[in-house]
Amino acid sequence: MKEHTFSIIKPDAMKARQAGEILSRLEKAGFEVVALRLRRLTPAEAEGFYYVHRERPFFRSLCDFMSSGPCITMVLESENAIARLREIMGATDPAKAAPGTIRGDLASSIEANCIHGSDAPETARFEIAYFFPGIELVRSER
Ligand code: ATP
Ligand code: MG
């Protein structure tokens, strides 16, 4: 079944000029980009987005990093989009991510790890509404 997921090309990847490479990998993996915006998160937006991690020791540093420069927020569509994106992203820690995955090939640290992807249908719904409020996504027939 076609599904939508939410993704962010994080500030480290933008700074390293890896956005094109990441978008190309996503397209080659069969994802359709169905919404996209270049933006710089405010610290408050980063805090709201990563609210589930508020008690974690890395929370402050993570929110500072996520608001440190521009990022690309997007909605991606494919069959089993949520699980497939998590697969091609690779493990959170690039040192543990398999070669061939985005994080395994491009990321530099467990914090600066290039890309975000929703981890479940409920989080995808929350995250899409958080960054694209009111958007009506029509599943493409392409
Ligand atoms: P994301 O939610 O960004 O897709 P993830 O689901 O693989 O990543 P989470 O456990 O949700 O991993 O962590 C959210 C983000 O917080 C990570 O992507 C990373 O940027 C940062 N992070 C996670 N663990 C650590 C850590 N131990 N130290 C520093 N930053 C961390
Ligand atoms: Mg996560």
pTM over 0.85: yes
Average pLDDT for 39-51: 98
Helix axes 19-28, 81-89, angle to 10 degrees: 130
* Terminal-residue alpha carbon distance, the chain: 14
- Would you call 26 helix, strand, or coil by DSSP? helix
Q: Are 34 and 93 in contact (CB under 8 A)?
A: no
Catalytic, out of 4, 10, 84, 116: 116
pLDDT score at 141: 55
Residue 138 has pLDDT above 80, yes or no: no
- CB of 116 sitting under 6 A from ligand 1: yes
CB distance 117 to ligand 1 below 6 Å: yes
